[in-house]
Amino acid sequence: MNLSGVWDWNFFWDTFGFMLKTVASFLMIIVAIIAVGMLLNVVIKAVRDTK
């Protein structure tokens, strides 16, 4: 059974790629905020342990 004509895969992948490019910048901002929060958590714990 050949289903290649049912879905337009080029359109699907082009749309998926466009949405991924659009969301990637906002996703990187969220990842950067989480990474900075984790880094600050490690620094605060290290400072507390030294006292």
Per the domain annotation, does 44 fall within a domain?
A: yes
Per the domain annotation, does 20 fall within a domain?
A: no
What is the domain range of residue 40?
A: 25-50
Look up residue 13 and give its amino acid. W
pTM of the prediction? Answer: 0.58
How many structural domains does the chain have?
1
Per the domain annotation, does 10 fall within a domain?
A: no
Per the domain annotation, does 11 fall within a domain?
A: no
Question: What's phi and psi for 3, nearest 5 deg?
Answer: -105, 15
Q: What is the pLDDT of residue 7?
A: 74
The rounded Cα 25 to chain-centroid distance in angstroms is 8
Per the domain annotation, does 36 fall within a domain?
A: yes
Per the domain annotation, does 4 fall within a domain?
A: no
Written as six digits, the tokens of 21 are: 């490019």
Question: CA-to-CA distance for 22 and 17, rounded, in angstroms?
Answer: 9
Per the domain annotation, does 1 fall within a domain?
A: no
Which residue ranges of the chain lie beneath pLDDT 70?
A: 1-4
